[in-house]
């Protein structure tokens, strides 16, 4: 139950992040930004999976770290 | 009615009161001034077009100072407020929109009398710090004077971490401090640059703070390492940041058969090659 709650909160917060998008169940992500930029499927340290996108590897990695830091403490 | 139940309680209260006063004075003395510097640097020594600018801040006082990029200072302040607020998607978006990008995510704390510095930086999700004694750095103060930004300045030279620097300091602001790790001159450094002008710090603003800053200590627990170990950790991260993420519990699943990881690593290595001109060469 706790995991479900954390996943829900994580999802809500990740959606607030412009370029971190949750992978939908049928994998139909229509976000144009996602399509034109490099995106990777990321599993954060609290178990939530999302797509993280950016123009460079450095940008993608910075976003992963930032999202993990800002969202994980709510667990 | 008895104000104090006993004489010992009265002494105890007096002690607490005096302690509060002395602590407040100590804190008041900590950061009374804010100096703003414009840093211009060339990260790729082979490409003159790789010049970038960033605003840097020095909070200084009688005995201590803290130097960082303006972006990092603002980011930290905003994140501190965010941590105390209710976490909603709105507050998270609002926080992110206020954060400006910075290339420098470190703090340099100086104890001016001892010429000791403490360098703090976060690598992935771990906080590291190291101390450095800069009392061995000698300045050669020269007779040449001129005017920079309305201040009468005097020339001084030194060498640090593989670069030779020329500084211009002013005795009009008698604070032995300056940008980055530089300190120990008989006045604030107004401008300092290495001989090739790859790194140039120039004062763009100086003001007394109406309300001195007390709470500048970070909430994070820093792991103390020596400078060589810190460099080793940073190098390890630079070589393979994806593996470093994995060590902190974050994993990336790459699309199989498309060579996505290889592409990302290739692009990363190419970028790293361009970042060949750090401020400290050794």
Residues of B numbered 130-149 whose beta carbons fall under 8 angstroms of chain A's beta carbons: which are they?
Answer: none
Q: What is the pLDDT of residues B165-211, one digit of tens each?
A: 999 999 999 999 999 999 999 999 999 999 999 999 999 999 998 87
User: Which pLDDT belongs to residue B30?
Assistant: 75
How close B282 comes to chain A (CA, Å)?
24
A50: pLDDT strictly greater than 90:
no
Contact A42 B87 (CB under 8 A): no
Cα–Cα dist A45/B32, whole Å: 41
Over range B99-115, report the average pLDDT: 89
User: B242 CB near a chain A CB, below 8 Å?
Assistant: yes
Give the strand order in the sheet containing B188-194.
B140-148, B151-160, B163-170, B188-194, B199-213, B31-42, B51-60, B64-69, B106-111, B116-123, B126-133, B223-224
% of chain B beyond a pLDDT of 90: 62
User: Domains of chain A: which residue ranges?
Assistant: 19-71
Contact B264 A38 (CB under 8 A): yes
User: A62 CB near a chain B CB, below 8 Å?
Assistant: no
Phi-psi category of residue A41: left, alpha or beta, with phi > 0 → left and psi -120 to 50 → alpha: beta
With 0-12 / 13-18 / 19 or more C-beta atoms within 10 angstroms meaning exposed / middle / buried, residue B236 is middle
User: Which pLDDT belongs to residue B11?
Assistant: 44
Residue A64 has its nearest CB partner, among B93, B245, B271, at B245
Q: What is the pLDDT of residues B42-93, one digit of tens each?
A: 999 999 999 999 999 999 987 899 999 999 998 888 877 777 776 666 776 7
Over range A13-34, report the average pLDDT: 45
Lowest mean pLDDT among B20-29, B31-40, B148-157, B171-180: B20-29
User: Which pLDDT belongs to residue B148?
Assistant: 96
Please report the domains of chain B, with CATH numbers, ordered by start residue: 9-214 (2.50.20), 226-274 (no CATH)
Cα angle, residue B233 at apex, residues B246 and B52 outer, rounded to 5°: 100
The nearest alpha carbon in chain B to A58 belongs to B268
Helices (H), chain B: 7-28, 70-84, 89-98, 227-239, 241-247, 260-274
Cα angle, residue B13 at apex, residues B10 and B16 outer, rounded to 5°: 150
ipTM of this complex: 0.73
């Amino acid at each position: 139950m706790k995991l479900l709650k954390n996943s829900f909160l994580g999802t809500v917060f990740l959606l607030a992040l412009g370029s971190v998008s949750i992978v939908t169940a049928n994998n139909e992500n229509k976000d144009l930004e996602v399509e034109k930029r490099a995106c990777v499927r990321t599993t954060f340290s609290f178990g939530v999976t999302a797509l993280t996108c950016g123009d460079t590897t450095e940008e993608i990695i910075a976003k992963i770290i930032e999202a993990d830091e800002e969202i994980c403490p709510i667990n | 009615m008895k104000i104090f139940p006993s004489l010992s309680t009265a002494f105890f209260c007096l002690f607490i009161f005096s302690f509060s006063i002395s602590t407040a004075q100590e804190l008041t003395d900590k950061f009374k001034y804010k100096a703003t510097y414009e840093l211009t640097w060339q990260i790729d020594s082979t490409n003159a077009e790789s010049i970038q600018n960033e605003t840097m801040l020095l909070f200084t006082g009688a005995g201590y100072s803290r130097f960082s990029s303006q972006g990092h200072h603002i980011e930290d302040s905003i994140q501190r407020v965010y941590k105390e607020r209710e976490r909603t998607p709105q507050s998270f978006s609002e926080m992110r929109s206020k954060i400006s990008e910075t290339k420098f995510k470190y703090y340099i704390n100086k104890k001016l009398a001892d010429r000791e510095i403490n360098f703090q930086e976060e690598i992935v999700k771990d906080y590291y710090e190291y101390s450095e004694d800069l009392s061995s750095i000698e300045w050669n103060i020269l007779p040449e004077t001129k005017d920079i930004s309305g201040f009468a300045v005097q020339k001084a030279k030194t060498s640090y971490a593989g670069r030779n620097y020329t500084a211009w300091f002013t005795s009009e602001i008698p604070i032995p401090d300056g940008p980055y790790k530089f300190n120990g001159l008989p006045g604030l450094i107004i401008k300092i640059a290495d001989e090739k002008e790859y790194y140039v710090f120039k004062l763009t603003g100086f003001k007394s703070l109406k309300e001195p800053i007390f709470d500048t200590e970070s909430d994070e627990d820093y792991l103390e390492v020596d400078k060589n170990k810190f460099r080793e950790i940073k190098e390890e991260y630079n070589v393979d940041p994806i593996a470093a993420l994995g060590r902190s519990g974050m994993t990336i699943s790459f699309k199989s058969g498309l060579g996505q990881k290889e592409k990302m690593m290739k692009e990363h290595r190419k970028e790293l090659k361009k970042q060949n001109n750090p401020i400290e060469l050794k």
